[in-house]
Amino acid sequence: MLIYKKVLCRFPAMITRFTQLYIGLLVAIPCLATNGTMTKNLKVLVSSNDYPPTALKLLEDHFTVLQSRYLNFGQEGSTLGREEILKLIPGCSALVWISNLPITNEILDAAGAQLKIVSTVSAGYNHCNPEELRARGIQLTNTPNVLSPAVAEVAVGLILSASRRFTENLDQVRRGEWEIGFDKVLGQDLRDSTVGIIGLGGIGQAVVKRLSGFDVARFIYSGHREKPEAKALRAEFVSQDTLLEQSDFIVAAVPLTNETKLMINKETLGKMKPNAVFVNVGRGDLVDQDALYDALKNKQIYAAGLDVTTPEPLPKDHKLLTLPNLFVLPHIGSATVRTRREMAELAANNIVNGLTGKPLLSPVKL
């Protein structure tokens, strides 16, 4: 009887403890889904066959990964690659987009309602159909900041290449006919110059840091508002008109939006100094290329360096390529081994977080 009374007295506590264990188990089950094998039923499509192995493993540790057998760039991407993606994407929860080709409504329709997140392995995302993603409730992430150092290095290279007339000088070397003389093929100095940055974001700031050893007299920048990082960089916030009118070197490092599209045009080029060197490491459509051609042809500005063009690739017979005062690269801004690996891993980790209920590392506000 005594034992029965003791058990009876402890019964409410036992019930409470059982309830706590039951609730704990309910909480633990979703945790297993985010950390264990239960996420393996989620499919992730990698859109190109050149995704770095380290990033691929990050995805394979959590999900069932499907990967296109084809390159998602150029002619192969728009034909064989597109057909492969349309075949593989139905039922996928996430898409890793490695391409400068557009994400079409056809691809999104083929994916179906299961698609929850698109992770583009790029800083720019205008090719990802952001308005349609927003309408469908699909999250979008990109890979900003990790590519800023590499792109900034290319921007500095373009400044030097354009200002020191590499196009003309390389042509001399190839022809074996060097212009010898004290006043032949002279360029412009960075020393004691004014450098204007259109868009002092991650890339713009990295450009300023890398140019600080060139004895630049003044850094100025334009944008929507002053940046707190500018003070440490000795960069002065000015209007865009002031930047165009006062800069010896102008670097465009802004994303492509409705506001920035064709921002470098006949009118804005007309405000630049005759010795101005213009560099674009943003997007090709920031520039009215017909207006740029005229400004360079007529020596309205001194020179230009482009890592981005419209279209890409630029046709080999394009009129821009006839200009001796233009230096063009084939969109290699982020093309280093380390940077591409870090971009791919950030894209993968965005998907891991997005599909396991954790905060996205670099979400795009749609």
**Residues with catalytic function:** 331
For residue 94, the cross-strand partners are 44, 117
Q: Which residues contact 211 (CB under 8 A, 6 or more apart)?
A: 156, 159, 190, 195, 219
Side-chain half-sphere exposure of 128, counting CA atoms within 13 A: 28
Q: Are 73 and 48 in contact (CB under 8 A)?
A: yes
Q: Are 362 and 142 in contact (CB under 8 A)?
A: yes
Q: Is residue 250 within a helix (H) or strand (E), and if so which, with residue range?
A: strand 249-252
Q: Are 207 and 158 in contact (CB under 8 A)?
A: no
Q: Rounded to the nearest 5°, which phi and psi values hold at 71?
A: -75, 135
d(C-alpha 311, C-alpha 313), whole Å:
6
